[in-house]
Amino acid sequence: MKTAIAALLILAAVSAGPPGEWTRVTEPTGRNIDEPGVARTGDGTLHVVALERGADPALASLAHYALDAAGRPVGARTAVLDGWRSLSNPWLMVDGDSLRVLVSGVRGSAPGDPFDGAIYTHTASLDGSEWVLQDASVSRAKSTGAPGAARSKDGVVVAWASASGLFFHQGADGSGDDQRIATTGCCTYDPAVATDAATGETVLGWYSNITRAHGRYTTVLPGAGAPQFAPGSATADRASSLSHNQRFALSARLGAPGVYAAYCAGYPTCAEVSLWRHGAAEALTVARPGNTRAVAIGPGPEGRLWVMWQDGTRLRATRTNRAATRVGPVATVAPPTGAQTVWKVNGDGATGPLDLLATVGAPEGIAVWHTRVLPILAVSASPTGFTAGDTARVTFTVTDAGDPVPGAAIEVGGRRLTSDAAGRAAMTFPATTRPGQIRAQATLAGYDGASARITVRPPPPPPR
């Protein structure tokens, strides 16, 4: 059973969507199955590594791009790999004082080429200016799928799925053996890995359409305990589920406990976008979308999480409170001009706003685009109305997904109030206040605003 998120009282979002324009990040040479790798360095820069193709569409390349802490493109395109016969979607991570890309692929057709289907790793300094390909493969196995990875207490751990099962490898230096996660039958897909900031547990998540084991699952590496089923991610008998459309959406929280997954629940269509903490009995219902295939998750500040999804060609996103137990209002973002299809969504909101990435199909081709999304305030009034002729004291409360917001400006009745540490500000309305509607507008830098309305009722007629 799911816990529905309570509606906020008297909320009207003043504006929702990006604070700026869409910017195309990559060349429009992608495919609808391509998905970028995303990682943020300590200076606030968001790094993106994406698949591209050149004059020969049969060959694939990896390119690095960067967006500064304000979400603006910075620096030039940097080649990570050029002209491989095949490449999987890349995984990008910050690994100490380096950026690390993990990808599976085949470099060439010459006999004896050492890059022939395993998982390989490339590193660069934190500015991503020059990439070095490691000679030794990470995995022993060949014909692997796209990897997921995280830094665990024992070093980098890398996971992947293939026709023969679900695997992980401890370490990225080419030493050691592959290890298999106990699954039965075929198949598992597109794993992701995240490490709990509080406990140090490293969690693996994946999608399965194994007979009678459909759905989304997580487990603690290295294989500690039975896989955990994400509630609602398959039918009750686990015989059917919505097929996955992109990498398993998994994220740790910054400086706070828990690893969380976001996904579409329901079958045969996406009935709910769900947010679930690994190991919990229930999931939060984030939204009930209309036409959703792709769902993603990313970190926010102070333990918050951003959940984002496509709904037809529109993008939607919302941010949780600090405890990750409820979400705020949903922002709706129109796609880039000329967009025909939104194939994938990704993003990171660790600095506050969400840096939203969408893989978009347009007449000129498929590319990764970027915009920013602000969290949306909520404001309520108590009481919600009073009778003209009476003196009334009204308290306004400004919140961010239920958390109090201090320092917000509240414009009401020609006066300007400021919310206190509890997110509250009060105003006394005189008995001379006329009947009608009074609008209270809450604003704060870094947020989209919200408004509440107070109803001033006419006084009752005098007795005869």
Residues 418, 302, 306, 122, Cα dihedral to 10°: 140
- Specify the pLDDT at position 317: 97
Amino acid at 111: P
Nearest to 414 by CA among 438, 396, 390, 437: 438
- Specify the pLDDT at position 434: 95
Nearest to 425 by CA among 391, 403, 397, 402: 397
Nearest to 319 by CA among 243, 238, 403: 403
- Specify the pLDDT at position 223: 73
- Specify the pLDDT at position 301: 97
pLDDT > 70: what percent of the chain?
95
The Cα 172–Cα 295 span in angstroms is 28
Instruction: Compute the mean pLDDT over every residue in the chain, rounded to the nearest whole number.
Output: 92
pLDDT in tens, 132-151: 999 999 999 998 899 999 99
pLDDT > 90: what percent of the chain?
86
The Cα 425–Cα 398 span in angstroms is 9
The Cα 304–Cα 319 span in angstroms is 7
Per-residue pLDDT averaged across 307-330, rounded? 96
Residues 279, 230 contacting (CB under 8 angstroms): no
Joined together, the tokens standing for residue 421 give: 């540490």
To which residue do tokens 């490339």 refer?
A: 122
Nearest to 156 by CA among 141, 140, 176: 176
pLDDT in tens, 95-136: 999 999 999 999 987 888 889 999 999 999 999 999 999 999
Give Cα separations from 1 to 164, 262, 280, 281, 320 (angstroms): 33, 16, 11, 8, 20
Element of type H or E holding 410? strand 409-412
Joined together, the tokens standing for residue 334 give: 């129109």
Burial code of 320-335, b = ≥16 C-beta within 10 A, e = fewer?
Answer: bbbebebbbbbbebeb
Give Cα separations from 83 to 66, 207, 348 (angstroms): 22, 30, 29
Cross-strand bridge partners of residue 347? 356
Q: Is the pLDDT of residue 451 over 50?
A: yes
pLDDT in tens, 16-47: 334 668 999 999 999 999 999 999 999 999 99
- Specify the pLDDT at position 31: 95
The Cα 371–Cα 325 span in angstroms is 26
Secondary structure (3-state) at 362? strand
pLDDT band for position 309 (50/70/90)?
very high
Q: Is the pLDDT of residue 403 over 70?
A: yes
Distance, CA of 344 to chain centre: 11
Q: Is the pLDDT of residue 2 over 60?
A: no
Q: Is the pLDDT of residue 251 over 60?
A: yes
Give the domains, in start order, of the chain with CATH numbers: 20-373 (2.120.10.10), 378-457 (2.60.40.10)
Is pTM beyond 0.75? Reply is yes
pLDDT band for position 290 (50/70/90)?
confident
Burial code of 252-268, b = ≥16 C-beta within 10 A, e = fewer?
Answer: bbeebebbbbbbbbbbe
Secondary structure (3-state) at 403? strand
pLDDT band for position 57 (50/70/90)?
confident
> Which of these ranges, 180-194, 243-257, 428-442, 447-461, has the smallest mean pLDDT?
180-194
Q: Is the pLDDT of residue 78 over 50?
A: yes
Q: Are strands 385-387 and 155-162 parallel, antiparallel or unpaired?
A: unpaired
Per-residue pLDDT averaged across 242-251, rounded? 93
> Which of these ranges, 54-58, 362-366, 406-410, 443-447, has the smallest mean pLDDT?
54-58
Rounded to 5 degrees, φ, ψ at 301 are -75, 155
